[in-house]
Structure 1
Amino acid sequence: MINYPFLEKGATVGVTAPSSGVPSELHDVLKTACNRMEEKGYKVIIRETTWKQDKAKSAHAKERADEFNRMMLDENIHIIIPPWGGELLIETLEYIDFNNLQNKWVLGYSDISMLLLSITLKTGLATAHGTNLVDLREEYSDETTAMWESVLSTKKGESIIQHSSKKYQKEWQHDKPTPCVFHLTEQTNWKSALNNLVKIQGYLLGGCIDVIRHLVGTPYGDVQNFKENYIKGQPIIWFLENCELSTTDLRRSLVQMKLAGWFENCSGIMFGRSPANTPVNNYTVEDVYKELSEEIQIPIIYDIDCGHVPPQITFINGAYAEIQLENGRGTVIQHFR
């Protein structure tokens, strides 16, 4: 059985940096994001690692993990939202106290998705793949991003529906700040490797493939154990996004996941829009999707609202989902059961 946390109004947000912290020149950005959260009625507690960044990490791995563990045990903190992702979260996993995780949300993406997926696979505690804290710093959020509160305030036994965005952001324009942090200029169009109409159901698992692929073969990536002990053999839908991989590196990663059994009893795979997917010798990402779909005989949906090309739908690791793609528009219904 999956355990679903619940976000209450006036909750206290714990901010810690299990991957990268915020360098001094960007402290004002972090402070602005925290102020916005307080304006929305939340209380905010920021711990030490958040303010530090050196050698591609906020602190030594054990210090990062210990701070996260203390936040998880702190009854006065109700949800944990790191400032953003980073590079070396994997160093912390051996120090995370998975046996004493409390029933509270952890929200984030990018390198944080490695922690999210590990928690859900090892414990059956649902985790939230969506916006990070610094992207909540402006006056308001777009409709897609803003759904994070509604999704995390869904009670066990209830359902929540989200729709694909109307437009997405092609590139950052930090020199042109607006009341909404994202500059949404491009028409969103979800696609499929084979069909225009796709309907799939299953339990959601996923994250940034650049990092979660490194869980294969470790105690933190035991998908089979999760299937047997938490969802009783029900099908899985994978949501994946590529931050920096070329098409051949993406292909290698997907084949490794397939050989490790991650795609057994999988009803479908969804891929987010990507700033990468660099073709190699005329080998395109569409080729990757088509080959994988044919090999494992499941639908593949791509260019969805997930990952490093915002905005993002809030996907819950461990939720049972019904996904529909029709004429470029996507619908995601998540059941907290």
Structure 2
Amino acid sequence: MTAITFPDALKNGDKIAICAFSSGVDSAFQPRLERVLSGLTRRGYQVVEGECVRQQSSPAKQRADELMAFLLDDSIAAIMPPWGGELAIEVLPYLDFNAIKQARPKWLVGFSDVSTLACVLTARCGWATLHCTNLMQLHPNEQDTHCLQVFKTLELEAGSEFTQTPAPCYQADAINYGKVPDALFSLTQPSQWRCLNVKDSREVELSGRLFGGCLDTLGLLLPSPFVALDEFKKQFAPHGLVLYLENAELNGNALTRFLIALKLSGIFSDINGLIIGRNGASNNPEQQSDYYQALELSLGECLFPVIIDADIGHVAPNLCLVNGATVKMLATLENSLVYDAQITTSLN
């Protein structure tokens, strides 16, 4: 088995590159950007801002060249895009993965379209990457436990471990950082994780090598040469994967097609469990019903545990999930409801 490489723990004075390889930040949202960048400086990090960050849309080649420069720069300790976007997939053909493998590994941090690149880096280069709250949500005054865990995770040495538990509540209302640049999370909606395919009461364990991200793009990339998940399993996870996914924009029918296509391509073979985040596509009750029907239709008969409505993705808060790390989740199920869950991640 090949070992995953964990980037060095971040320390005071380290450089963090701000790189918009998917979507930049237009003028209306730049006051918020200034706040979160000042937060990084206050934590003792040096901020290196890419030229594409304050442009809402830059050509794919320009974004890729800037990203490659940061990936190959051994003085950079981490790369934090401001947020996700739509077309990170455009930059993949321009990246030189052989050159990246020879560079100093660095943390890539965020979720949504950030996971498009993060999963490719983990699968192709063997670098651990961090799926978590995006930079634009990390206001220096934010006190949400999951947000604070981002920096705690980045400051861990290889071989360390940390444990997380489900958030009691989630963010029900969208936040407009353009209108309210100092907005913080207001986690008021009660949260309840569930197990889709276990209806009785029992103890459950999911363990294996952690891997995943946003289904909207990974649904296309997982079987592709850019990820080649089967090869990743053989090389890095012979004892199985714990796969996690979250839906950003797919409606019920599209979600069903994506999940069934992944099943037919063998993506769900040899995995030890699947964790799915809350639905980010809509709060409309009818569309939420379509979402749960899509999950039941495509995943209801899986033999491994399928946990749903977890703290992953576009409905805050976000767990810190390290692609490439080993993970063990222990929980009690009572009539499909998940209680007393503990997710322990080991950076090895």
TM-score by length of 2: 0.89
RMSD, aligned CA: 2.2
1:281-311 Cα deviation digits (max 9, x unpaired): 9963333333444433111101111100001
Counting only pairs closer than 5 Å after superposition, residues 22-101 of structure 1 correspond to structure 2 as 22-53=25-56, 58-101=57-100
Counting only pairs closer than 5 Å after superposition, residues 138-157 of structure 1 correspond to structure 2 as 138-157=140-159
Provide the C-alpha distance between the structure 2 equivalents of 1:264 and 1:315, rounded to a whole number of angstroms.
21
Query: 93-102 or 44-53: which moved more?
Result: 93-102
Tell me the number of residue pairs that the alignment of Structure 1 and Structure 2 aligns: 332
Partner of 2:234: 228
Structure 1 pair 118/279, CA: closer, same or farther in 2 (3 Å)? Answer: farther
Counting only pairs closer than 5 Å after superposition, residues 1-337 of structure 1 correspond to structure 2 as 1-10=3-12, 11-53=14-56, 58-101=57-100, 102-174=104-176, 181-193=184-196, 194-195=198-199, 197-231=203-237, 233-276=238-281, 284-326=290-332, 327-337=338-348
Provide the C-alpha distance between the structure 2 equivalents of 1:214 and 1:280, rounded to a whole number of angstroms.
26
Letter in 1 for 2:244: F
Provide the C-alpha distance between the structure 1 equivalents of 2:120 and 2:293, rounded to a whole number of angstroms.
30
Provide the C-alpha distance between the structure 1 equivalents of 2:127 and 2:210, rounded to a whole number of angstroms.
12
Provide the C-alpha distance between the structure 2 equivalents of 1:283 and 1:24, rounded to a whole number of angstroms.
37
1:92-140 Cα deviation digits (max 9, x unpaired): 0011222222311000110111101111111111111011111112412
Provide the C-alpha distance between the structure 2 equivalents of 1:314 and 1:31, rounded to a whole number of angstroms.
24
Provide the C-alpha distance between the structure 2 equivalents of 1:18 and 1:8, rounded to a whole number of angstroms.
22
Structure 1 pair 290/184, CA: closer, same or farther in 2 (3 Å)? Answer: same
Structure 1 pair 114/321, CA: closer, same or farther in 2 (3 Å)? Answer: same
Q: Is the 8 A contact 2:36 2:139 kept in 1?
A: yes
SS in 1 for 2:342: strand
Q: Is the 8 A contact 2:60 2:91 kept in 1?
A: yes
Structure 1 pair 109/282, CA: closer, same or farther in 2 (3 Å)? Answer: closer
Provide the C-alpha distance between the structure 1 equivalents of 2:264 and 2:285, rounded to a whole number of angstroms.
23
Letter in 1 for 2:85: G
SS in 2 for 1:52: coil
SS in 1 for 2:76: coil
Letter in 1 for 2:16: V
Q: Displacement of 1:183 after TM fit?
A: 1.1
Provide the C-alpha distance between the structure 2 equivalents of 1:248 and 1:42, rounded to a whole number of angstroms.
44
Query: 77-86 or 144-153: which moved more?
Result: 144-153
Q: Identical aligned pairs, as a percentage?
A: 32
Q: Displacement of 1:217 after TM fit?
A: 4.0
Q: Is the 8 A contact 2:139 2:182 kept in 1?
A: no
> Gaps (5+ residues) in structure 1?
none
TM-score by length of 1: 0.92
Q: Displacement of 1:179 after TM fit?
A: 6.8
Provide the C-alpha distance between the structure 2 equivalents of 1:181 and 1:324, rounded to a whole number of angstroms.
31
Letter in 2 for 1:17: A
Q: Displacement of 1:257 after TM fit?
A: 1.1
Provide the C-alpha distance between the structure 2 equivalents of 1:86 and 1:113, rounded to a whole number of angstroms.
11
Q: Is the 8 A contact 2:252 2:287 kept in 1?
A: no
Letter in 1 for 2:210: L
Q: Displacement of 1:146 after TM fit?
A: 1.0
> Gaps (5+ residues) in structure 2?
333-337
1:35-70 Cα deviation digits (max 9, x unpaired): 1111111111101010101xxxx3111111111111
Structure 1 pair 13/281, CA: closer, same or farther in 2 (3 Å)? Answer: closer
Letter in 1 for 2:235: N
